Chain A
Amino acid sequence: MELLNSLLFDYTLRTVALGAATLGIVSGALGSFAVLRRQSLLGDAMSHAALPGVVIAFMLTGSKTPVILLVGAAVAGWLGALLMNGVVRNTRIKEDSALGIILSVFFGFGLMLLTFLQRNPDARQAGLNSFLFGQAATLLISDVIPMAILGTIVLLLVLIFWKEFKLLSFDRDFAASLGYPVAWLDVVLTSLLVLAIVVGLQAVGVVLMSAMVVAPAAAARQWTDRLGVMVFLAALFGAIAGVGGAMISSLGSGLSTGPVVVLVVSGIVLLSLLFAPNRGLVWNWVRQQRDRRKLRLQSVLTNMYYLAEQHDDMAHPHAVTVLQAMNFGQGGVRRSLHVLRERGLVQESSSGFWALTAEGVEEARQLIDSRRAGKGGDR
C-alpha cells in the first residue's frame, strides 16, 4: 500500500514508473513481431550493438544529454542490423552466426571505448557505465517525455501498417507476390524494433534489453491465439515488468534496474508457461489426467459388457477381481465403478459383485459401435 502511495505521489518514483511502463509497452509490442518472425535474437544483437553508439556520441559531443546518446545508440543499432542483413545476403554465413558476429564485434568495440574513456582523468564520462545494466532511478521527466513521444510514434506506425506487418510476418513470399515491397517493410519493421530498444536502453541497459523484447512476447503467446491480443498482452506484461522492476530497484540502493526487470519478466514467463490455458504445462497435465480417467471409465464399462455378453443375462454380476484382472496395469477399477454408479450405468448387486444397468448396456454398446466405426472409417 505504501508502495502504491509513493507511486502516485512521489515525483521521482512516478517518473521512473512512467519511463519503465513506456519502455515495457513499446518493447513488448515490437517484440511480438520479432518473436513471430523468429528474430528474437535480432533484438539481442541490436541492443548490444547500440553500446558503441552511446560512447561515440558522448566522445563527439562531450555531452551526456540522454537524447544525444540515444541518437547515437539508434544509429549504431540500426547499422548493426543493416550490416547483419548484408552479411547474410552476400556471404555464406548463416543468420545465427551473423548475429553472433555483429553482437560481439559491436559490443566489444563499445566496451573498449568505454574502458579507454575511463582511463582518462576527465571525470565527465562517469555514468556512461549505467548504459550497461540500466539505472531507472536516474530517469528525469525530461528523459521520459522524449521516450514517450518516440514510443507513441513507433506504436502508431505499427497500427497504421498493421495489415502489412501481419502479412509480412506470416507469409513473406505471398506478400511479395501481391506486390508489397517486402525488403522495405523488413527495414521499416526492423527500424521500429531498433527504436523500441533505444527507448528502453537508459532504464534497462544494453545487456538485458533483449529480454524485454523476447520475454513479454513469449509470455503473451501462451495466453492467446490472436495477433492483436498477443501484441496487447505483450505490451501489458512489458509494462508490468518495467514498472515492477523499476520500483523494486529504486527501493534498494545501488540495484541496477536491468537485472531486476529481467527477474520480474522471467517470473511472468514462468507463470505463463505453467498456467496458460491450452498451451500451459499444468493445463496439459490436467487434460491428460482427465483423458486418462475417461479412458479408464470406458474400458471398465466395455469390459463389463464383454463379460455380460458371455452370459444370457446382461445384468449378470461380476466380481471386482475379474474386472481388475481385465484392466490389469491401469488401476482405479473400484473408483471407476463408483463413478459409473453415480451416473446410473452400473450397480453393486452384492458386496464386491457389479452388474451393468440397462442404461449401462446401451452406453457400452454405443461405445463399442463408435470404436468399430472409427477403425473402419480409416480407409
Chain B
Amino acid sequence: MTERRFAIEVEDLTLAYQDKPVLWDIDLHVPEGILMAIVGPNGAGKTTLIKTILGLLKPAAGRITIYGKPFVAQRKLVAYVPQRGSVDWDFPTNVLDVVMMGRYGRLGWVKWPGREDRELAMEALRKVGMANFAHRQISQLSGGQQQRTFLARALVQDAQIYFMDEPFQGVDATTERAIIQLLKELRAAGKTVVVVHHDLQTVSEYFDWVTLLNVRRIASGPVSQVFTEENLRLTYGGKVAFLSKTAVSQSTPDTLQPASSGG
C-alpha cells in the first residue's frame, strides 16, 4: 500500500464561506488507477471539495498536490466534468463545438481548434455513443445526452485524473450503464476517476474506493473496508433507514458483495 503512487493528496484542507466552515481539516490520499466515489448528504461539501482541488475555490488553509506537485503545475493531467445544470443549455452552439472546448486547454491562447482537434472530438463522441449527434444544437439534447456530451469533452482533455460532479444525476438507465462502462475503461487504462455520487445503493457496485464526507472527512478507503453502516451513520446522522442493506456489513463482508450481474 505504501509504495502505491498517490494521484491526489490533500492535507489539512479547510474552506469557509463567511464564517461557516464548508470543509474542515480534510485529509485525502487517493491512489492511482481507482474509481472513487465521494458521498455525503446535501451541503456536505462534495462539490466544494472537487472545485477546491481544481483551484476554482480558494481554501483558507491546506495543501493540495497532484502526483506530488501543486495543481497549477499539473493542470494538463486533470479533466473536469461539471454538474450538468451548471451551464445554460440554450447557449447557441452544437455538440461538437462543446466537445472541442476540451481541447482549448492544450491549444492555449488565440489559436483556433483545427482538424486534429475535430477528429479527437469525433472520436470521443463515438466513445460515448453520440457520434450521430455531433451537429445537434445542444438545447435539443436530453439530460442523458447532455451528460455524455460533457463526458466526451472531458475525454478529449486526455488527462490522467478525471473529476466528475454527479454524472449520474437525472440520466436514463442506458446512459448510466454507458457511463459506468466508460469509467471502467478509464480505470483499465490506468486513469484515476473521482466521482461525486448520490446513490448509496450503487456505491459498492460501481466503485472500488469511497470517501465519506460531511464537512469533515468521515472515512476514505477501499469500499469493502470503509463503506460500513457505522461510517454511514456518522456521515448521514442515523437518518437513513436503508443503510443497513446497502452498507458492507463489518461482520460478514462477503455475503453482501454486489451481485455479479449488475443491471
The interface of chain A, by Cβ under 8 A from chain B, is 36, 38, 160-164, 166-167, 169-171, 173-180, 221, 224-227, 229-230, 379
Q: What residues of chain B lie closer than 8 Å to A179, measured between beta carbons?
A: 72, 75, 105
How far is A179 from B111 in the complex, measured between Cα atoms in Å? 15
B173, A173: Cβ atoms under 8 Å? Answer: no
**24 pairs from A and B in contact (CB 8 Å cutoff):** A36-B91, A38-B88, A160-B110, A161-B110, A162-B112, A163-B107, A163-B112, A167-B101, A167-B104, A170-B88, A170-B101, A171-B82, A171-B86, A173-B82, A173-B86, A174-B101, A177-B78, A177-B80, A178-B75, A179-B72, A225-B92, A225-B93, A226-B92, A227-B92
The interface of chain B, by Cβ under 8 A from chain A, is 51, 54-56, 72, 75, 78, 80, 82, 86-88, 91-94, 98, 101, 104-105, 107, 109-113, 137, 139, 153, 173
Known: A162-B112, A166-B93. 20 other contacts (CB 8 A): A36-B88, A36-B92, A163-B107, A163-B110, A167-B101, A170-B101, A171-B82, A173-B82, A174-B153, A176-B56, A177-B75, A177-B78, A179-B72, A180-B104, A221-B92, A225-B92, A225-B93, A225-B94, A227-B91, A227-B93
CB proximity of B85 to chain A, nearest CB, Å: 12
Contact A230/B80 with A167-B104, A178-B105 known, Cβ cut-off 8 Å: no
Contact A176/B55 with A36-B92, A160-B110 known, Cβ cut-off 8 Å: yes
A163, B104: Cβ atoms under 8 Å? Answer: yes
CB proximity of B141 to chain A, nearest CB, Å: 12
How far is A221 from B92 in the complex, measured between Cα atoms in Å? 8
How far is A161 from B139 in the complex, measured between Cα atoms in Å? 25
CB proximity of A232 to chain B, nearest CB, Å: 12
**Number of contacts between A and B (CB, 8 Å)?**
71
How far is A161 from B111 in the complex, measured between Cα atoms in Å? 9
Q: What residues of chain A lie closer than 8 Å to B137, measured between beta carbons?
A: 225
How far is A199 from B2 in the complex, measured between Cα atoms in Å? 64
B54, A177: Cβ atoms under 8 Å? Answer: yes
Q: What residues of chain B lie closer than 8 Å to A164, measured between beta carbons?
A: 104, 109
Contact A170/B87 with A225-B94, A226-B93 known, Cβ cut-off 8 Å: yes
A169, B86: Cβ atoms under 8 Å? Answer: no
How far is A38 from B78 in the complex, measured between Cα atoms in Å? 29
How far is A300 from B87 in the complex, measured between Cα atoms in Å? 44
How far is A230 from B80 in the complex, measured between Cα atoms in Å? 28
Q: What residues of chain B lie closer than 8 Å to A230, measured between beta carbons?
A: 92
Contact A169/B82 with A174-B101, A179-B75 known, Cβ cut-off 8 Å: no
Residue on B with the closest CB to A161? B110
Q: What residues of chain B lie closer than 8 Å to A169, measured between beta carbons?
A: 91
A178, B88: Cβ atoms under 8 Å? Answer: no
Q: Which 5 A-B pairs have the closest CB atoms?
A: A178-B105, A177-B80, A225-B137, A177-B54, A171-B87
Residue on B with the closest CB to A230? B92
How far is A226 from B112 in the complex, measured between Cα atoms in Å? 17
How far is A177 from B80 in the complex, measured between Cα atoms in Å? 7
How far is A226 from B80 in the complex, measured between Cα atoms in Å? 25
CB proximity of A109 to chain B, nearest CB, Å: 31
Residue on B with the closest CB to A226? B92
Q: What residues of chain A lie closer than 8 Å to B87, measured between beta carbons?
A: 170-171
Contact A224/B92 with A178-B75, A178-B104, A179-B75 known, Cβ cut-off 8 Å: yes
B98, A173: Cβ atoms under 8 Å? Answer: no
CB proximity of A209 to chain B, nearest CB, Å: 24
Residue on B with the closest CB to A227? B92
Q: What residues of chain B lie closer than 8 Å to A226, measured between beta carbons?
A: 92-94
CB proximity of B51 to chain A, nearest CB, Å: 7
Q: What residues of chain A lie closer than 8 Å to B72, measured between beta carbons?
A: 179
Residue on A with the closest CB to B157? A178
How far is A205 from B113 in the complex, measured between Cα atoms in Å? 40
CB proximity of B111 to chain A, nearest CB, Å: 8
A379, B91: Cβ atoms under 8 Å? Answer: no
How far is A287 from B107 in the complex, measured between Cα atoms in Å? 43
Contact A170/B93 with A177-B80, A225-B139 known, Cβ cut-off 8 Å: yes
CB proximity of B197 to chain A, nearest CB, Å: 19
Residue on B with the closest CB to A229? B92
Tell me which of B56, B92, B107, B109 has the highest count of chain A C-beta atoms within 10 A of its own C-beta.
B92
A379, B80: Cβ atoms under 8 Å? Answer: no
Q: What residues of chain A lie closer than 8 Å to B101, measured between beta carbons?
A: 167, 170-171, 174
Cross-chain contact of A174 among B75, B80, B110, B112 (Cβ < 8 A): B80
Residue on A with the closest CB to B81? A174
Q: What residues of chain B lie closer than 8 Å to A379, measured between beta carbons?
A: 173
How far is A178 from B111 in the complex, measured between Cα atoms in Å? 15
Q: What residues of chain A lie closer than 8 Å to B56, measured between beta carbons?
A: 173, 176-177
Q: What residues of chain A lie closer than 8 Å to B75, measured between beta carbons?
A: 177-179
Q: What residues of chain B lie closer than 8 Å to A173, measured between beta carbons?
A: 51, 56, 80, 82, 86
How far is A31 from B112 in the complex, measured between Cα atoms in Å? 23
How far is A36 from B90 in the complex, measured between Cα atoms in Å? 9
Q: What residues of chain A lie closer than 8 Å to B93, measured between beta carbons?
A: 166, 170, 225-227
CB proximity of B76 to chain A, nearest CB, Å: 8
Q: What residues of chain B lie closer than 8 Å to A171, measured between beta carbons?
A: 82, 86-87, 101
How far is A226 from B94 in the complex, measured between Cα atoms in Å? 8
CB proximity of B80 to chain A, nearest CB, Å: 4
Tell me which of A36, A179, A227 has the highest count of chain B C-beta atoms within 10 A of its own C-beta.
A179
CB proximity of A163 to chain B, nearest CB, Å: 6
How far is A176 from B78 in the complex, measured between Cα atoms in Å? 12
Residue on B with the closest CB to A92? B18
Residue on B with the closest CB to A170? B91
